[in-house]
Amino acid sequence: MTTSKLKFRWLDIKEGISGYLYILPAFIIIGMFGLFPIGFAVYVSLFQWRINPGAYIGLSNYVKALDNLTYVLCFWLVVILLYLIVRNIHKIVNVSKEHQERPWLWCVSGAITTIGLVAFLRFIVLLLPEVLAISTKVRGQTKSQELFLQFLGEAWQTPAVVNARNLSVLILIIGITVAIFTGLYLYKSPRNSQYYLIFINITAYIVMGILLAWLTWTQMQSAYTAALEAGQPLDIWTQITMISAGFILLFLSWRVWQSASLRTSSAQTVLRLLAGVILAIGAWALIGELPRVISAGDKNWWEGILVTVYYSIGTVPIQLAISLILAVLLFQKIRGKALFRLIYFLPYITPTVAAAAIFRIFFSGRPTAPINSLLQFFGGNPQLWLDEPNGIFQMIVGNNIELPTWAVGPSLALVVIIIYNIWSYVGYDTVIFLAGLGNIPSELYEAASIDGAGRVAQFRHITLPLLSPTTYFLTLLSIIGTFKAFNHIWVLRSGAALGTTDTATVLIFNEFNRNTRYGYAAALSIVLLLVILVLTIVNNKLAEKRVFYG
């Protein structure tokens, strides 16, 4: 290699390093305040943690919450990791074929770098217990910054921690050095960084899949051993097979049903629809195992998830509909619309605790409370409101008709909290919708008016399609927000409501704060995170063909 070419390649590498150094601060911030808390929650969830770290118990906290559904979820997480491995391999094969390259040398540096990252995680895992043990060491001593730094230094210099740190740094240096050497001397391509990162992803997915499979397998072996000692049957593999097959059939049914509209003849369309119905029936029969698995888990957790679902379904559609109507009205040329925008936005900027405390007074169960006084003025009966545990639909039909548990609906207390959330966030959604309406060209409405389209037709065929990105954004934000909501629910909840307002976040906080079961609370928080991720993915898939970006 000539000196000029070597210099040119080195300039490319320097440019790449400069780019990574440029984004390093953002990566550190995201890692410290975004990824590390999630990783630490996963770590805590694997221990019997009560104030101080306890014994390692593997997936026991997850099994306590979800029972055998834990193994089903872990099985599918491993499957997803396998899919990601295959997808990345397929991607690198396609890119290499397209450019007639053979980038397989990058597998070595990618694998070494991944091993270095795993070794660094091992160093963190060994360091964490030593750092957390400082709280025990300082008992009975005068607490000071110097004492804390002394114990922190001792934790940092623990032999196992030092060995793990040195090993991880050494492997990372080797991995990066091999990558630079490969890019300079062994393989020249403008896509070297892409190949390097893809191979890091592939090896990282392989390591995560192996770790998760091993963790699941050891937990299953412990469960089978405990079941044999107790003389009880255990249907883990049966339930994994049945539930997984049920969801696979449900997915196939959906795909077959979608393909029916593409058939060229009525007979083919009918056959496709019939096949979709048959697959759906089979899926329903197999997924019927799911309620039995759920009932064996933590009853309070599943009730909290149900309350959260009620809360989300009751909040998001109504909130967005009201916001869209207000935005359309405020977008018209009316006098004082700036004042109305301010008034509608005020609830959003009002301190949550103060606003919730006022709502608590308004919706008190006392007959003399403001809302009850208003009801009595119009001839109605006073209600318990935030103290009412009965379902809203059961209250509507009366006590003479007893509805099944799944049909009683959210409690009246939860309905009040839903009303508060709608009142609080309608102004924010309205402002975002107004911004979306401002981006729609007025020429479209003028052309539609010339063609004879009325206001309703314009709203349906112009406003709604062009507002779909804004609607998608607010829908996603609202769903995630309802599953994460805590402050106003905590202020508005009442013991008299018998837990019918306790969402998943409230249950997690109670496990952490009241019961001091940190490991179990961390496991529940990871499960809630997975639920939010699934909802986000589903929302993205549903919006792919329905969101119009112009």
Give me the pLDDT at residue 54, please.
85
pLDDT at 273 over 90: no
Q: How many Å is the Cα radius of gyration of the chain?
A: 29
Quote the pTM value. 0.90
Share of the chain above pLDDT 90, in %: 57
Q: Which residue has the tokens 């007639």?
A: 100
What does the alpha-carbon distance between residue 57 and residue 474 come to, in Å, rounded to a whole number? 40
3-class DSSP assignment, residue 515: coil
Could you give the CA distance from residue 340 to residue 227 in angstroms, rounded to a whole number? 65
Average per-residue pLDDT in the chain? Answer: 89
Q: Residue 11 pLDDT > 70, yes or no?
A: no
pLDDT digits (tens, 9 = 90+) for 399-436: 888 888 888 999 999 999 999 999 999 999 999 999 99
CB 548 within 8 A of CB 466: yes
Residue that has been written with the tokens 């949550």 in this structure: 352
493 touches 501 (CB < 8 A)? yes
At 81-102, the pLDDT tens digits run: 999 999 999 999 999 899 888 8
In tens, the pLDDT along 441-492 reads 989 989 999 888 888 899 999 999 999 999 999 999 999 999 999 999 999 9
Q: Say which residue, 262 or 221, is predicted with more confidence.
A: 221
6 pLDDT more than 80: no
Residues of 258-297 as b/e, b for ≥16 C-beta within 10 angstroms? eebeeeeeeeeeeebbebbeebbebbeebbebbeebbeeb
Q: What tokens were used for 504?
A: 């998943």
CA–CA separation, 161 and 158 (whole Å): 5
